[in-house]
A and B are shown apart, each in its own frame.
Chain A
């Protein structure tokens, strides 16, 4: 069965610093991979996803992620953090041919002035 592991339940950065949130997946077949963001007291919304094609995926709000099959990773990055990026970020995986997403446990991003 597929699964994802997010390293670090909390990540703290200063405004303007690089954001790096880690996600590793386990899947028996090449997966589809997603990053979702949850702002306080809201539902989740899609940041970006990898399905096929280019392994570097660009999403909303300046975020991007790179699918690395050899490392089974899909880390999320942003060159310069803004205060408005403070939220919880979830990596998720689905197997090809299935509707169901399996979510990681989430990483809370804290941004300080």
Chain B
């Protein structure tokens, strides 16, 4: 079991460039999440997908789009990167059997720098 995998591990972009962060889980989980982690701010939810075919905005969705490609995969797209999007991005998944109680399992993160 690989758990939650993310690609790439590191990325440097120029302002205005676009890119897609990939996330996949092999635990047959229903729910998936994208967070960003910034120093002194903890983790903030960007988007989540409660189940295959649904996506919803989190706390900081501006400048991002997501796609729940299938039950395993949940991608995050930056259409026009800005320096404010420099951050570490984490994908997570949970089984979602009883809402609110689930353990979320995290990937290793993608460190993104926007110049």
Query: What residues of chain A have their CB less than 8 Å away from a CB belonging to chain B?
Result: 9, 32, 34, 41-46, 49, 51, 90, 94-106
Are B107 and A43 interface neighbours, CB within 8 A? yes
Counting from the closest, the 10 A-B pairs by CB-CB distance are: A43-B106, A103-B42, A105-B42, A103-B43, A51-B101, A94-B100, A44-B106, A46-B103, A32-B100, A43-B108
Q: How far is the CA of A45 from the CA of B94 in the complex (A)?
A: 12
Q: Are B103 and A49 in contact (CB under 8 A)?
A: yes
Chain B residue with Cβ nearest A51 = B101
Contacts of B53 in A (CB 8 A): none
The reply to whether A101 and B41 form a contact with Cβ atoms under 8 Å apart is: no
A-contacting residues of B (Cβ < 8 Å)?
4, 31, 33, 35, 40-45, 48, 50, 58, 90, 92, 94, 96, 98-109
CA distance A90 to B44 in the complex (A): 12
Out of B4, B42, B99, which one reaches A43, CB within 8 Å?
A: B4
Chain A residues in 8 Å Cβ range of B99: 96-99
B45–chain A nearest beta-carbon distance, Å: 6
Give the shortest distance, in Å, between A35 (CB) and chain B (any CB).
11
B109-A43 in contact (CB<8A): yes
CB <8 Å contact, B42 and A99: no
